[in-house]
Amino acid sequence: MKAYAGLTVFTGDLKMPIISDAIVVIEEGKIVYVGPEERGWHYLEEAEEFVKLDGKLIIPGMANNNVFLNSFLYLLSDHPSRKITETFLSFLNMHIPSDFELSAKWGAVTAVKNGVTHMIGMFIWEKGMDPEKVLKTLEDIPVRMIASPFIKLKDLNEDLLRLFKSYDLIPTVKLDESLEEKLPQLARFEETSVVRYLIPNWDHLDKLFLSSIGKKAIEISIGSGIFSPNVQVVHGGGFSTGDLDVLAVRNVEVVKSPRFEYMLGSKSGDIQEYVVRSMRLSLGTSVFDLSPVNEVKLALFTEFSFWNSTKVLKDGMYKLLFQSSYDFYSNVLGSQCGRIREGYEATFMVVNTLGNIETLDDFMDFLLRKWDPSLIDRVLVEGEEIYVNKQIRFVDEYQLMQSISKKRRAD
């Protein structure tokens, strides 16, 4: 049993969002007590390890629902914006070779430094890849990572779908001109499995369907049985308001990466259309730094006229960071995450706040105005301290970077 004391706790639960002068007690990776020190003093006597963290704040580990892992092998030099653009163009043309182990480990390192403990890691699936090695890599990474093999729809076949299903891999399928032909395969897969559809330009597919069949793409797709609640749509570029109405009724989840989408000049970065329809919505960072806070800030401030007040903006920030983003992990992994609550995973970060936080409003103001990843003191996943005092504990970071540099030179 281990106890952390002297803390302010943001619980993630609006019924009791802030607990001051708190202790958090952990046993076998779970939180067994969180509350005022005066009520839990006996835990301090029983604890084998006691850590005093006066004035620091505990926040649930954050979730990032779209990370392009392959980009980590190529974003470690000179001009970031140029590299991001080049990476995206290469990504579209499938010119980036894959090394899942290096990509996943560096992705985990980068995630933890940004307070991310749950992530969906998309990686290019290459012929001959061994899914068992993918799963073994995930076992060696403490971050709760869902591995999502990326493949173009035209390259997808029944054998691959059976392979992904047998290893519980959740594919990210880039929809393309072969959609009409592949609709029956996708529909059968959706019946029993979760799938992600990466859609950079639905309008293009719409025009193809209208010219060849005389019907809209969404009409043909729904009629064929795809876009069920087992679907995550990534980006969703080019959807009309009518298309969104249909997806909302079918309870399809959408994952947005506003910084990435705005960089490409796409209005699909806007999230207000999804919010007004009460759609399941979460955020990812794609090829950018893995900070969900930065993603939310851009999404909300860009559409500030929609949010119309600081209070409404803070409410939107709370929902995107600490509510909807965790649903996927609860449903797919069975994780009890996203809350500092008894019985939940002891997965959280400890941060320096640069001031007192006594109310939910204080906490949201801290995220909006003062948040920086450098404020993170430590990160725990299921009770294990994996990042303390700017030091990663689950991998030799220097050796990992050397391996990545060697890989880049070889490619």
Averaged pLDDT for residues 135-144? 93
Distance (Å, rounded) from C-alpha 230 to C-alpha 235? 16
Decide: pTM greater than 0.85.
yes
DSSP-derived pairing of the beta strands 253-256 and 281-283: parallel
Averaged pLDDT for residues 152-166? 95
Do 224 and 187 touch, CB atoms closer than 8 A?
yes
3-state secondary structure of 1: coil
All domains of the chain, ordered by start, with CATH?
2-61+338-392 (2.30.40.10), 63-332 (3.20.20.140)
3-state secondary structure of 47: coil
Reported as type and span, the H/E element at residue 132 is helix 131-139
189 — phi, psi (to 5°)? -65, -40
CA end-to-end distance (rounded Å), the chain: 47
User: Which amino acid belongs to residue 242?
Assistant: G
Residue 303 has pLDDT above 90, yes or no: no
pLDDT of residue 81: 46
3-state secondary structure of 400: helix
DSSP 87-123: HHHHHHTT-----HHHHHHHHHHHHHHTTEEEEEEEE
3-state secondary structure of 363: helix
Give the Cα-Cα-Cα angle 175, 85, 280 (nearest 5 degrees). Answer: 45
* pLDDT, tens digit, 9 for 90 and up, residues 255-292: 998 888 877 666 555 788 888 888 888 889 887 788 89
Do 284 and 71 touch, CB atoms closer than 8 A?
no
pLDDT of residue 230: 92
pLDDT of residue 328: 78
The share of the chain scoring above pLDDT 70, in percent, equals 90
Lowest mean pLDDT among 32-46, 279-293, 313-327, 336-350: 313-327
Provide the pLDDT confidence category of residue 79 given band limits of 50, 70 and 90: very low
* pLDDT, tens digit, 9 for 90 and up, residues 330-349: 777 777 888 999 999 999 99
Provide the pLDDT confidence category of residue 169 given band limits of 50, 70 and 90: very high
DSSP 221-234: HHHHT-S-TTEEEE
Distance (Å, rounded) from C-alpha 151 to C-alpha 122? 10
Higher pLDDT, 298 or 86: 298
Provide the pLDDT confidence category of residue 73 given band limits of 50, 70 and 90: low
